[in-house]
Amino acid sequence: MSATARDTLNMRIKPEDRTLFDWAAKAQGKTRTDFILEAARRAAEEALLDRAVIQVSAKAYAKFVARLEAPPSPNKRLKRTMQARAPWNEA
Question: pLDDT tens digits for 38-57?
Answer: 999 999 999 998 888 889 99
- With respect to residue 21, please indicate whether it lies within any of the assigned structural domains: yes
Q: Would 72 be classed as within a structural domain?
A: yes
Asked whether residue 50 is domain-assigned, the answer is yes
- DSSP class of 8: -
Domain count, the chain: 1
> Between 27 and 72, whose confidence is greater?
27
Is the residue at 9 inside a domain? no
CA distances from 18 to 22, 24, 29, 68 (A): 6, 10, 16, 47
Is residue 7 a part of any domain in this protein?
no
Asked whether residue 10 carries a pLDDT value surpassing 90, the answer given is yes
Domain of residue 32: give its range. Answer: 15-89
For residue 3, is it within any domain? no
Residue 68 lies in a domain: yes
8 Å CB contact between 25 and 34: yes
**Average pLDDT of the residues in 75-82:** 88
* pLDDT higher than 60, residue 91: yes
